[in-house]
Amino acid sequence: MYENDNYQKMQFGLEQRKVELLEQEATVKIACEQLHIAKEQVQLKADILCQRAQLLREGVSQDEINSALPVPDHMDDS
């Protein structure tokens, strides 16, 4: 009976550790996805800024550029 109790305690400890590792894995996956999204947002903003700079070099007025290619506000928090 003593061996059975030890076995059950070990089993419980292993199951608890497994749950902890699954939680950590989920946290890491979420963090990776957030970084991927942030990278895409920065790339989009960089692309827009490059296009805006090109239009300025071509002589397009700043007002026309602002209305045609606004820089998204939600990316300013990144």
User: What pLDDT is attached to residue 78?
Assistant: 45
User: What pLDDT is attached to residue 76?
Assistant: 46
b/e 28-58 (16+ beta carbons within 10 angstroms → b) = eeeeeeeeeeeeeeeeebeeeeeebeebeee
Q: What is the DSSP string of 40-76?
A: HHHHHHHHHHHHHHHHHHTT--HHHHHHHSPPPGGGG
Average pLDDT on 4-9 reads 90
Express each pLDDT in 30-73 by its tens digit: 999 999 999 999 999 999 999 999 999 999 999 999 999 999 87
User: What pLDDT is attached to residue 8?
Assistant: 92
User: What pLDDT is attached to residue 2?
Assistant: 73
Q: How many angstroms separate the CA atoms of 43 and 49, rounded?
A: 10
